Amino acid sequence: MIDDNKQNKNAILAVVLSGIILFGWSYFFAPTQPYDVTPTKELNTAETKNGSNSSVNNVSADSNPELSTDRNLTTVDFKNDNVVISIDNYLNVTEYLASNSKLSINDALVAPKTRIIVDNTEIFFNFSNKTNNSVDVVSTDGKLSGTISLTDKNSLNVALNSSAPINLGFMVSSTERNVDNQTFNQFVYLADSLEPIHVGETSDSVDSKVTWFGLDFNYHLFAFFFPVSDLYRVGITATESASRDSDGDAILNGTLFLNRVTAASVFNYDILFMKKNYDSLAAYDDKLKLAVDFGIWSIIALPILRGLQIFYDFFQNYGLAIIFLTILIRFLTFPLQYKSFQSMKKMQVVQPEIAKIKEKYKDDPKKMQTETMALFKKAGANPIGGCLPMILQMPIFFAFYKVLYTSVELVDAPFYFWILDLSAKDPYYVLPVLMGLAMFLNMKLTPSTSMDPAQQKVMMLMPIMFTFFMVNLPSGLTLYILVSTIVGMLQQLFVYKRTT
């Protein structure tokens, strides 16, 4: 039975559910978008910090030490054509500049601090026998010694030996940072799967076989990588700092703790910092590429990423790559879209007949339902035929969304005119407005004769809602939706002309 009130409710429910899905996806699953940071150093002009003292907010946890600054710190520098790295006596990285990023570790990751801990005590090391690529270290108590060396993969390798089996541990601290309640710096570690936790949140201790851990923010990763995963007890704490945000709330400091569950005498790990380019991470190690988190859409997202790279190699412009990949995907999925558009057109054709049936059998709902279904069958129209193909395309939309929101390829990538960075929002909101207009025209094109004026007004809210939703999202993503909407309209007009 077709009931006007029920249709009104369904239309309103569709709008509400669409909003919940889109805003919910952005809030819970969207990866971080770039944070506006002006680089302070270039690779060939990096400053060293010999003799400097670190200054951090104390972060404590039960049975864990605080980060101390009461020692006379020195730093040792490592350099090659690709990186400049400085490390202090706590084996804390004080500077790390990589050639694949114009940001230093302190610009990109809110100055992370690290410590090596044993039996709830942070370890202080002395340096000796410094060469261009390595330095020997020994702890002040003489129980830990080893070598730190610059590897051919542009990471620091730390190889330590202890005089007796110990439970070596790590502390990594940082300060929370977020932008528009969408961008967060976060601790990450890879166990059975990638585990991201926002700096400023806490988590209970768990025992996990950790392959790597570190900090993730602003399309960059600072990671400690173990050649062989070992069992660690992992926990994260947060404390208030003296600093306040614009709303007057205390900014939180966070600390990630890892303590080795079983004692050992030999320890080996690499320290690396780089922009989260998928291929660069995969070249370092296959497990490190999981830092580019495509989530459940990875099986679709990776081919989309490859498609973007292929089109970029041809056009040398990621904006053009997005446009042509969007067109290609639209044509590859056209068989599904064809059925959807065809069904909508047939529903439009039978609307006058449906109106007659509703008037003729308004006092006999059962007969009305029977005659309506018979009309649908005769005309080859399917009431849900226009929805099902669109639902089947949603994984492609979300995978494209994930790639464009996660991909470092778009960072600092210009399009044309005022779009200087496809990973940042459109500064003049031109693309979101054009996208909203395109969606409005698309809705005017879509058959709506079954809707009463109240339903049509509700549906007209959709373009407005999408426009406001997109104003702070990456311009590359808005460009994709704009192009996809325009191509979809052209395909829809093509099908309508061929359908009677």
Residues 226 and 279 in one domain: yes
Other beta carbons less than 10 A from residue 88's beta carbon: 24
In a domain, 456, yes or no: yes
Which pLDDT tens digit goes with each residue over 227-254?
988 899 999 998 887 777 666 777 888 8
Read off the DSSP letter of residue 167: -
Minimal CA–CA distance to 178: which of 55, 30, 23, 21?
A: 30
Indicate the helix (H) or strand (E) that contains 487: helix 475-498
Q: What phi and psi, each to the nearest 5 degrees, are found at residue 174?
A: -160, 175
Token representation of residue 477: 């993503």
Residues 241 and 330 in one domain: no
Residue 300 CA: distances (Å) to CA of 92, 305, 329, 393, 476: 39, 9, 12, 11, 18
Percent of the chain at pLDDT > 70 equals: 74
In a domain, 297, yes or no: no
The yes-or-no verdict on residue 52 having pLDDT over 70 is: no
The yes-or-no verdict on residue 150 having pLDDT over 90 is: yes
Lowest mean pLDDT of 137-151, 325-339, 361-375, 473-487, name the range. Answer: 361-375
Query: Does residue 21 or residue 244 have the better pLDDT?
Result: 244
Q: Which of 292, 314, 339 marks a domain boundary?
A: 292
Q: Which of 241, 266, 292 marks a domain boundary?
A: 292
Indicate the helix (H) or strand (E) that contains 299: helix 298-315
Given this model, what pLDDT does residue 456 score? 62
Task: Please provide the size of the chain in residues.
Answer: 500
- Give the three-class secondary structure for 144: strand
What is the average pLDDT value for the chain, to the nearest integer?
77
Residues 63 and 192 in one domain: yes
Lowest mean pLDDT of 10-24, 339-353, 423-437, name the range. Answer: 10-24
Indicate the helix (H) or strand (E) that contains 322: helix 318-332
The Cα–Cα gap between 352 and 371 comes to: 14
Amino acid at site 393: Q
Contacts for 152 with CB less than 8 Å, ≥ 6 apart: none
Residues 135 and 187 in one domain: yes
Mean pLDDT within 301-312:
93
Band of residue 151 on the pLDDT scale cut at 50, 70, 90: very high
Band of residue 457 on the pLDDT scale cut at 50, 70, 90: low
The Cα–Cα gap between 199 and 236 comes to: 9
Mean pLDDT within 200-208:
89
Handedness of CA 407, 409, 411, 417 (dihedral sign): negative
Spell out a b/e string for 66-76, using b for 16 or more CB atoms within 10 Å of the CB, else e.
bbeeeeebebb
In a domain, 217, yes or no: yes
Taking the mean position of all CA atoms in its chain, how far away is CA 16?
A: 25
Token representation of residue 357: 């049936």
Given this model, what pLDDT does residue 257 score? 93
The yes-or-no verdict on residue 342 having pLDDT over 70 is: no
Which pLDDT tens digit goes with each residue over 390-448?
666 678 888 888 888 787 888 888 999 899 988 888 889 998 999 888 888 877 766 55
Other beta carbons less than 10 A from residue 255's beta carbon: 26
Read off the DSSP letter of residue 118: E
284 burial type by CB count under 10 A (0-12 exposed, 13-18 middle, 19+ buried): buried
Residue-range definition of the domain harbouring residue 431 = 4-31+302-498
Band of residue 3 on the pLDDT scale cut at 50, 70, 90: very low
The Cα–Cα gap between 138 and 126 comes to: 5
Band of residue 217 on the pLDDT scale cut at 50, 70, 90: confident
The Cα–Cα gap between 277 and 218 comes to: 12
In a domain, 36, yes or no: no
Given this model, what pLDDT does residue 1 score? 40
Given this model, what pLDDT does residue 132 score? 79
The Cα–Cα gap between 92 and 390 comes to: 51
The Cα–Cα gap between 296 and 70 comes to: 46
Given this model, what pLDDT does residue 447 score? 56
Given this model, what pLDDT does residue 412 score? 82
Number of domains observed in the structure of the chain: 2
The yes-or-no verdict on residue 365 having pLDDT over 70 is: yes
Residues 374 and 274 in one domain: no
In a domain, 215, yes or no: yes
Query: Does residue 448 or residue 111 have the better pLDDT?
Result: 111
Widest distance between CA atoms in the chain: 98
Residues 203 and 272 in one domain: yes
Band of residue 210 on the pLDDT scale cut at 50, 70, 90: very high
Residues 274 and 166 in one domain: yes
Band of residue 469 on the pLDDT scale cut at 50, 70, 90: confident
Given this model, what pLDDT does residue 384 score? 57
The yes-or-no verdict on residue 59 having pLDDT over 60 is: no
Given this model, what pLDDT does residue 222 score? 93
Band of residue 32 on the pLDDT scale cut at 50, 70, 90: very low
Mean pLDDT within 310-335:
91
Question: Which residue's structure tokens are 């290609």?
Answer: 328
pTM for the predicted model, two decimal places: 0.74
In a domain, 37, yes or no: no
Given this model, what pLDDT does residue 470 score? 79
Residues 274 and 375 in one domain: no
Residues 184 and 307 in one domain: no
The yes-or-no verdict on residue 179 having pLDDT over 70 is: no
Residues 87 and 179 in one domain: yes
The Cα–Cα gap between 23 and 148 comes to: 46
Band of residue 491 on the pLDDT scale cut at 50, 70, 90: confident
Minimal CA–CA distance to 421: which of 432, 435, 409?
A: 409
Question: Which residue's structure tokens are 């076989």?
Answer: 209
Amino acid at site 3: D
Residues 281 and 331 in one domain: no
The Cα–Cα gap between 327 and 323 comes to: 6
Given this model, what pLDDT does residue 139 score? 93
In a domain, 341, yes or no: yes
Lowest mean pLDDT of 60-74, 190-204, 483-497, name the range. Answer: 60-74
In a domain, 38, yes or no: no
Residues 69 and 210 in one domain: yes
Contacts for 269 with CB less than 8 Å, ≥ 6 apart: 157, 158, 224, 225, 226, 227
The Cα–Cα gap between 477 and 322 comes to: 9
Other beta carbons less than 10 A from residue 306's beta carbon: 14
Q: Which of 238, 262, 292 marks a domain boundary?
A: 292
The yes-or-no verdict on residue 332 having pLDDT over 90 is: no
Backbone region of residue 101 per phi and psi (left: phi > 0; alpha: psi in -120 to 50; beta: other values) = beta
Range with the largest mean pLDDT of 67-71, 291-295, 452-456: 291-295
Mean pLDDT within 41-63:
34
Q: Are 185 and 196 in contact (CB under 8 A)?
A: no
CATH number of domain containing 185: 2.70.98
